[in-house]
């Protein structure tokens, strides 16, 4: 098993007491490498200038008004 997958399974076991339930679970956990890569790609592309950050406030600010 690759080092990344071993680390993920150990982390989940340590922090949550949950074991890999099956092979699809193992494969999808291994796919977290892709999630991390996607997250890394977003670094620097978004900043906190658009305050307030509240999603509910954004719904109101952008709502249909006609």
Partner 1 sequence: MMTDLADLSMTEAAEAVAQGKSSSLELLQACLANLDATNPQVNAMIWEDREQAIAEARAADEKTAMGGTIGPLHGVPMAHKDMYYQAGRLATCGSALRKDWRPAVTATVIERLAKAGAYVFGGLNMAEFAQNPTGHNKTFGDCHNPWNLPYITGGSSSGSGASVAARFNYMALGSDTGGSIRLPAAACGVTGLKPTQTRVSRYGVMPLSFSHDNVGPLARSARDCARVLTVIAGYDPQDPTSSREPVPDYESFMDGDLRGTRIGVPTNIFLDGADAPVVTAMEAALAVLAARGATISRITLPLMDAVATYGGIVSRCEAAPIHAEWMRHDPQAYGAHISGRMYPGYALPAAYYIEALARRGPILRRFAKEVFSQVDVIVTPTIKTCLPTLAETDIDHGPPGTEHKFMAVSSNTRPFNYLGLPAISIPCGFDPNGCPIGLQIAGRPFGEGRVLKVAGAYQLDTDFHAARPPILENTIREKKGTTA
CB burial of 36-50 (b: ≥16 within 10 Å; e: otherwise) equals eeeeeeeeeeeeeee
Q: CB of 40: closest distance to partner 1 in angstroms? A: 10
Comparing CB distances to partner 1, the nearer of 1 and 39 is 39
HSE at residue 41, side-chain half, CA atoms within 13 A, is 6
Interface positions with partner 1 (CB under 8 A): 8, 11-12, 15-29, 31-32, 35, 38-39, 41-42, 45-46, 48-50, 52-64, 66
Least spacing, CB of residue 47 vs partner 1, in Å: 8
DSSP 8-state symbol, 31: T
């Amino acid at each position: 098993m690759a080092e990344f997958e071993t680390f993920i399974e150990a982390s989940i076991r340590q922090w949550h007491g949950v074991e890999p339930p099956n092979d699809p679970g193992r494969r999808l956990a291994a796919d977290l490498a892709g999630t991390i890569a996607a997250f890394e790609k977003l670094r620097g592309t978004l900043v906190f200038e658009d305050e307030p950050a509240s999603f509910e406030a954004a719904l109101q600010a952008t709502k249909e008004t006609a």
